[in-house]
Amino acid sequence: MQAIQVRGACPHDCPDTCALLTTVVDGVATKVQGNPDHAHTGGVLCTKVSRYTERSYHPDRLLQPLRRSGPKGAGQFTPVSWDEALDEIAARLAPIAAREPEAILPYSYAGTMGLVQGESIAARFFHTLGASLLDRTICASAGAEGLTQTLGSKVGMKVEFFAESKLILIWGSNAIASSLHFWRYAQQAKRDGARLVCIDPRRTETADKCHEHIALRPGTDAALALALMHELVVHDWLDHDYLRAHTLGWEAMRARALEWPPARAAEVCGIAVEQIERLARDYGACRHGHGGPAAIRLNYGMQRARGGGNATRAVASLPALIGAWRHRGGGMLLSSSGQFPVDRAALQRPDLLAGRRPRTINMSTIGDALLDEGAPKIEAVIVYNSNPVAVAPESAKVVRGFAREDLFTVVLEHFQTDTADYADFILPATTQLEHWDIHGTYGHTDVMLNRPAIAPLGQARPNTQIFRDLARRMGLPDASFADDDEALCRMAFGARVDFGRLLRDGFAPLAIDDAPFAHGGFPTPSGRCEFFSARLAAQGLDGLPQHLPNHEAIGSSALYPLAMISPPARNFLNSSFVNVTSLRAIEGEQLLEIHPDDAAARGIADGGIVRVFNARGAYRCRAVVSTRARIGVVHGLGIWWRKLGLDGRNVNELTSQALTDMGRAPTFYDCLVEVSPDVGAGGDSSATMPSSGSGRLNR
């Protein structure tokens, strides 16, 4: 018996990007654990990924190519050889590529965050064809744009220094569930006397552990941030030197802030004036030269509403008012990804477009795009690292689009997901245990290397290999696809990162100042924190942060009086892990949290089946009557696979394709609904309903 340990990196869409240690015995991965040598990981993984062997060796794992043998969406497939699959796919794609390459669409996101198994050979393949480009907006682009327009890029404080903060605002983040390793630093700060404030419509597990919870209405974060600024101004809790030396547009920002007294914001946010005043007092007490450092950990939930970009701008502006950036334990962090010097041109080779400028299709409106009859109509979709039928908004349209008989769909996957059910071909992809990859992160500042720990299972192939094989079948130039995966890993950062160190340790820290903006130097055009953005003004937008009411604001509809957000269930990560039996057993089934008063007004009992609906659609799930929900807001915990839901649907049946103010992002948390007891099954809304979904999981 030979046991070895292999260093890797977690591939999932999580800011922590943990360092993995996989124990392999005689070629079989027996255990995946956190690497204790990596400071951020600290030897600890979340529950989800500590079960990674269960996921990789899952009995439903796809291990051979499959060709559709039934109606679209029925999930009926027949095994075929790789040669048959590749020949047929190439034969279908080649004539489209020759006639109208923009009719071919890649669809991918963060099923892996790896730079190699994400967009490297895949991008080269689609660039060579001249296929439509994909605007990858579905999660973070509103916040990314807001941050970039304010701080210059996706940059922020180093996560480890939250441990030194004296006041931490955990804003729109259930850190215990979705950023466990940041939470460890926050806990350290708490033990050292820091005050923790959670700002979130939902009373999350994280809110339970903070000193205070501010349960504002969804989509009102900018109003709260502006009111905090108001208080900082009127009480002169400001770092005037920092404002003068390192910001742009302060006088205009000051005037905007004065439009937002706490009483106005309290009305908009649905919270008490005193909460705003207290928070401003605490934050102001941390201004430079007075209290200890104040830090904000922002996450992406709050930017999933119409004004998400503006809200991010407003929150990202706050640290400059009190000079928080002067301390390494002060400032804010939404994403650190802009600090990674990734050579995307080397990986993705946009030069292969050879001067062509294909159209760009927004992944967040894939439902409309697939149903658009305008030329060029989408004729083929290649899906990898994503599950749009489950995760894209307004599912009814997404499903109708993927069900089109004249659409040719190929899905690269580990499992037969909701999207795979609509494929013409499913191609088995390797997991992180079986391939090379390299990662930047968005929650810390170490580059991470992933070595393969085991051989590919069954006939699975890395995404890179599948696109190389397809390129060869289609006669695309060999030279563009010759780089092997290890070479691609080396290419991702070139000489900017010591690859020898990555091979040795599995991680390599970037050389970044501990307090990167202590002396200004923001990567904006002005080099300052830009309260006023000339670039936004030039687009006809407000150059200053402002509160924008939701597309579907509370109180704007008599038919749909409840605001719904859809935060992740703790043991799932987007739609990944939903089919891992032990994790699904913890989550149980699709749940909707509803406040006791809202439940009583509708005759809804705790544990009863409810129908959640609006004009776009409906789905059924089980109600949890709980004060985790504030009055007027319900939480559809996600993201369940549709076919594992009570009626083959999930929360995205109700979400809309309306977009944010900037970044062209979806507005998942900007959604009005109504909820009623479900009496469809003989009038007993407390009964467990049998699954009438498409049932393709067969267990």
**Contact with ligand SF4 (CB under 6 A) among 6, 10, 305, 457:** 10
Q: Minimal distance in Å, beta carbon 34 to ligand SF4?
A: 7
Amino acid identity for residue 147 in this structure: L
For ligand SF4, the closer of residues 46 and 286 by Cβ is 46
| Rounded CA Rg of the chain | 25
Of 13-21, 226-234, 294-302, 546-554, the segment contacting ligand SF4 by CB under 6 A is 13-21
Residue 532 to residue 44: CA distance in whole angstroms: 42
d(Cα 562, Cα 659) in Å, to the nearest integer? 20
- The three-class DSSP label of residue 144 is helix
> Cα–Cα distance between 199 and 263 in angstroms, integer?
18
Task: Using the minimum distance from each CB to ligand SF4, give the nearer residue, 46 or 302.
Answer: 46
Provide the CB-side half-sphere exposure for 137 (13 A, CA).
Answer: 29
Within positions 148 to 187, which residues make up the interface with ligand SF4, using CB under 6 A?
180
Q: Of 163 and 176, which CB lies nearer to ligand SF4 in the complex structure?
A: 176
Residue 464 engages ligand SF4 in binding (rule: CB under 6 A): no
Closest distance of CB 448 from ligand SF4, Å: 9
Least Å from the CB of residue 37 to ligand SF4: 15
* Residues between 15 and 74 with contacts to ligand SF4, criterion CB under 6 A: 16-18, 45-46, 48-49
Q: In terms of CB distance, is 49 or 332 closer to ligand SF4?
A: 49
Please, where are the H alpha helices in 152-300? 175-178, 180-191, 205-209, 221-234, 240-246, 250-257, 262-269, 273-284
Per the CB < 8 A criterion, the answer to whether 167 and 3 are in contact is: no
For residue 268, give the nearest of 204, 192, 216 by alpha carbon.
216
The C-alpha atoms of residue 102 and residue 357 are separated, in whole angstroms, by 10
Q: Which is nearer to ligand SF4, 47 or 686 (CB)?
A: 47
Closest to ligand SF4 by CB, 6 or 45: 45
User: Which residue has 């205009």 as its token pair?
Assistant: 252
Q: Rounded to an integer, what distance in angstroms lies between the CA atom of residue 639 and that of residue 418? A: 12
Min dist. Cβ of residue 568 to ligand SF4 (A): 11
Number of C-beta neighbours around residue 267 at 10 A:
12
Please identify, using beta-carbon distances, which residue of 21 and 412 lies nearer to ligand SF4.
21
- Report the nearest approach of ligand SF4 to the CB of residue 575 (Å): 14
Closer by beta carbon to ligand SF4, 210 or else 573: 573
Nearer to ligand SF4 (CB atom), residue 14 or residue 228? 14
- Residue 620 phi/psi, 5-degree rounding, is -115, 145
| Among 6, 7, 14, 671, interactor with ligand SF4 by CB under 6 A | 14
Region binding ligand SF4 by CB under 6 A among candidate stretches 14-22, 119-127, 368-376, 424-432: 14-22
Min. distance of Cβ 9 from ligand SF4 in angstroms? 8
Q: Which of these ranges, 11-19, 317-325, 619-627, 683-691, lies near ligand SF4 under the rule CB under 6 A?
A: 11-19
Contact partners, residue 577, CB within 8 Å, separation at least 6? 48, 55, 571, 583
Strand, helix or coil for residue 497 = coil
Least distance CB 574 / ligand SF4 (angstroms): 11
The contact mask relative to ligand SF4 for 568-597 (x = CB under 6 A, - = no) is: -----x------------------------
Q: Which is nearer to ligand SF4, 14 or 460 (by Cβ)?
A: 14
Instruction: Kindly state the smallest distance separating residue 106's Cβ from ligand SF4, in Å.
Output: 25
Q: Which is nearer to ligand SF4, 376 or 568 (CB)?
A: 568
* Residue with tokens 């990196």, as numbered in its chain: 9
In the complex, least distance from residue 224 CB atom to ligand SF4, rounded to whole angstroms: 28
Q: How far apart, in whole angstroms, are the C-alpha atoms of residue 176 and residue 205?
A: 7
Q: How does DSSP assign 27-47, residue by residue?
A: TEEEEEEE-TTSTTTTT---T
Cβ 384 to ligand SF4, closest distance in Å? 20
Listing DSSP states for 277-309 in one string gives HHHHHHHHTTSTTSS--EEEEE-GGGGSSTTHH
> By C-beta, is 46 or 565 nearer to ligand SF4?
46
Minimal distance in Å, beta carbon 180 to ligand SF4?
5
- Interaction of residue 12 with ligand SF4, rule CB under 6 A: yes
Nearest distance from C-beta of residue 181 to ligand SF4, angstroms: 6
In this structure, are residues 430 and 461 in contact, taking their beta carbons and an 8 Å threshold? yes
* CB-nearer residue toward ligand SF4: 316 or 448: 448
Residue 576: CB minimum distance to ligand SF4, A: 9
How far apart are CB 573 and ligand SF4 at their closest, in Å?
A: 6
- Which among 106, 52, 586, 28 is positioned nearest to 382, based on CA atoms? 106
620-650: b (≥16 Cβ within 10 Å) or e: bbbbbbbebbbebbbbbbbbbbbbbbbbbbb
> What dihedral do alpha carbons 572, 573, 576, 580 form, nearest 10°?
-30
Q: What angle do CA 297, 303, 308 make, to 5 degrees?
A: 125
Is residue 414 at the binding interface for ligand SF4, with CB under 6 A as the rule? Answer: no
# of chain residues touching ligand SF4 (CB under 6 A) = 12
d(CA 286, CA 282) in angstroms, rounded, equals 7
Q: Is 145 among the residues that bind ligand SF4 (CB under 6 A)?
A: no
Question: Which positions touch ligand SF4 (CB under 6 A)?
Answer: 10, 12, 14, 16-18, 45-46, 48-49, 180, 573
